[in-house]
Amino acid sequence: MQVNLRESWWIRDVEVPTRLVLAPMAGVSVQAFRRQGRRYGAGLVCSEMVSCAGLEHRNERTLGYLRVGADEHPLAIQIFGSDPAVMAEASRMVEAAGADLVDVNFGCPVRKVTKTGAGVMLLDDPDRACSIVEAMAAAVSIPISVKLRRGLENGSRVCLDVGPRLVEAGAASLTLHPRSAKQMYTGVADHHLTAELVSLVDVPVVASGDVTSRARAQAVLATTGAAAVMVGRGAQGNPWALREIIDGDCAEPTREEVAAELTLFVRETVRELGEHRASGFLKKFYGWYLGRGRFPRPFKQELVQLAATDEVVTRLFAASPGAAEIVERLEAELPDPQDEILLDQMPISLYGGG
């Protein structure tokens, strides 16, 4: 059975125009990444997860402002924490920032998160997890979505017990990454578990994990009954993967297209983070964009060594002269920055990324 990936679906009163969701990723999901994902077919984009404690205390290094662009909707802002009252207040701030959904992370297995009792640890404390969702749902008018893993241990099925309880507590959508916390990103995502969760709840379920092609997306949607698929690592520096999944367009980008998308990403990230922070943050992206045989490896190494992002752009234009014209067109399509909603003092995640 072929599923129309361009068909819209709903999370309560929020319409999502395609069945492709761009995952929240720490140190990756800055506004430039989200905007690019929307242009290439993602129906819903997500911020990286933000500490609710940071929102409460204002004591982390800050990103400056959380910018919600006119071209990002629908947008989910993801938060994490373990205190229901603090998570409720953070949800109010997310709503004030202009997000369409507030997403709560009950799936992160990273020590910096789990040691606080947050992330995937809450699957072992379902009463607290439900209290968090209930408090958040009571605090805001926008829908609450929840991202979770199968459980802490390999073979765990705890998500099938906790998932329906989260819906009863007020979750309007669930996203399941059917790997255990112990697996991290190794092994295979068991989407038989996703199908079981779909059968147990009456809200849309998003299937996350190992969706790397249009064929795989179609297979996961057809066999699980999920409302949409989530794509994460495969889209890092590679928005063309989203295009292939959503439309079946397998055409490799030209060097000019690659250089243009990277240039726009660099400029937009500098606008968001400032030159000093952006110059270090962007270095990992050079390999992601320029790899896959698109540019010689020494060229990537050359860019990493450059101190200023203007120098990076100059080298990209020199290597791909036609890129400048594409960038000009892309920048002309960006919304007016004055249309953005700003929330003062939004902290970065614990990862120290953007």
Query: How do residues 77-95 score in pLDDT, each as one tens digit?
Result: 999 999 999 999 989 988 9
CB atoms within 10 A of CB 310: 14
- Smallest CA-to-CA distance from 113 within 350, 354, 353 is with 350
Q: Are residues 312 and 209 in the same domain?
A: no
Token pair in block for residue 331: 């920048």
Q: Tell me: do 130 and 217 sit in the same domain.
A: yes
The 10s digit of each residue's pLDDT in 165-195 is 999 999 999 999 999 989 988 889 999 999 9
pLDDT given at position 55: 66
Q: 3-class DSSP state for residue 230?
A: strand
Residue 232 belongs to some domain of the structure: yes
Domain co-membership, 292 together with 183:
no
Phi, psi (deg, nearest 5) at residue 173: -160, 150
What is the band of 14 on the pLDDT scale with cuts at 50, 70, 90? Answer: very high
Contacts for 197 with CB less than 8 Å, ≥ 6 apart: 159, 160, 163, 174, 176, 205
Please state the domain count of the chain.
2
- Together in a domain, 200 and 268: no
User: Same structural domain for residues 105 and 228?
Assistant: yes
Average pLDDT over residues 62-75: 69
Question: CB–CB of 262/325 below 8 Å?
Answer: no
Structural domain includes residue 344: no
What tens digit of pLDDT does each residue of 307-343 get?
A: 999 999 999 999 999 999 999 999 998 877 655 555 4
Same-domain pairing of 174 and 26: yes
Domain stops at, among 250, 280, 303: 250
Task: Single out the residue in 250, 265, 292 at which a domain terminates.
Answer: 250
Identify whether 52 is a catalytic site residue. Answer: no
The catalytically annotated residue of 46, 52, 108, 130 is: 108
